[in-house]
Amino acid sequence: MPEFDPGTPSIARVYDYLLGGKDNYAADREVGDRLIAVFPAVVEAARENRQFLSRAVTWVANQGVGQFIDLGCGMPTAPNTHETAQAIRPDARVAYVDNDAVVLSHLRAVVEKGSPGVAVAAGDAGDPDAILEAVSAGLDPAAPTCLIMALLLHFYDPGAARSLVARYSAALMPGSYVVISLAHGNGEDGDRWFSTYSAGPAAARNYSVAEITTLFDGMELVPPGVVDARQWHPGWSDLPTLPFRAGQAICGVARIS
């Protein structure tokens, strides 16, 4: 796990800043401000991603799934995954996974305050075997699980990302679900946003929508499929036309059969 350094911007803390959180430092805010200068709507896109996650977790919990693995979960931001899932299923269990020291400290504080069914694991999402071992104690391997990979996979090249999704999903029971979202840029402004971000916390890749769709290969996409986060509502078929924007969160939910 990387050592804590407040002078080095963090993926999780930059995201926290864009969401209006307070768990960030000057280095994170500096990166966030550069991103906003290039693409002011990044703040809206970050919030839209959180709203999508809440809808997706709610929907999956309503399908009878009672355990969740939230990979690269970032700072606790209300509503958290466990709050959303337990509003539907009070017995839901959630394993949060991250490798940021500040994130882990905040997550452990959530558990210590009394959050039944919540576990925290330190680890790198790029090591599925270690992560699955770390979360196994708190989850039932024979029960369906929801795997969440939100704004995570664009830090890997498409081939590596597909391999990660395949390795995690292969470990889950049929009837499990995978929730994925990635940042996506359009045109020169979108490319400039990704270049600006990559000069800060970590290199990020601007996937095409087609490349994002391939992450769900071998699974059953839940309608409306792979869409803008603003368009993902369970069962929607007539999707609203959205005005052109330099970037957004692209997302989808799929069932493992």
Determine the pLDDT at residue 236: 85
pLDDT digits (tens, 9 = 90+) for 184-219: 999 999 999 999 999 988 999 999 999 999 999 999
3-state secondary structure of 146: strand
Give pTM, 2 decimals.
0.95
- Helices 42-62, 11-18: inter-axial angle, 10-degree rounding: 100
d(CA 47, CA 143): 31
Mean pLDDT of the chain: 94
CATH topology of domain 44-185+209-234+245-255: Rossmann fold (3.40.50)
Q: Is the pLDDT of residue 1 over 60?
A: no
Q: Indicate the pLDDT class of residue 237, thresholds 50, 70 and 90.
A: confident
pLDDT digits (tens, 9 = 90+) for 86-98: 999 999 999 999 9
185-191 contacts: CB < 8 A, separation 24 or more?
A: 185/39, 185/246, 185/247, 186/244, 186/245, 186/246, 186/247, 186/248, 187/246, 189/38, 189/39, 189/246, 189/247, 190/39, 190/246, 190/247
| Cα 211 from chain centre | 17
List the domain boundaries for the chain. 44-185+209-234+245-255
Tokens 């601007």 map to which residue? 206
DSSP assignment of 147-197, as one string? EEEES-GGGS-HHHHHHHHHHHHHTSPTT-EEEEEEEEE-HHHHHHHHHHH
User: Residue 29 is encoded by which pair of tokens?
Assistant: 């805010």
Q: Is the pLDDT of residue 4 over 80?
A: no
HSE, side-chain direction, 13 A CA sphere, residue 4:
10
d(CA 216, CA 233): 18
β-strand partners of 181: 150, 251
Least confident of 76-80, 157-161, 165-169, 224-228: 76-80
Per-residue DSSP letter, 246: S
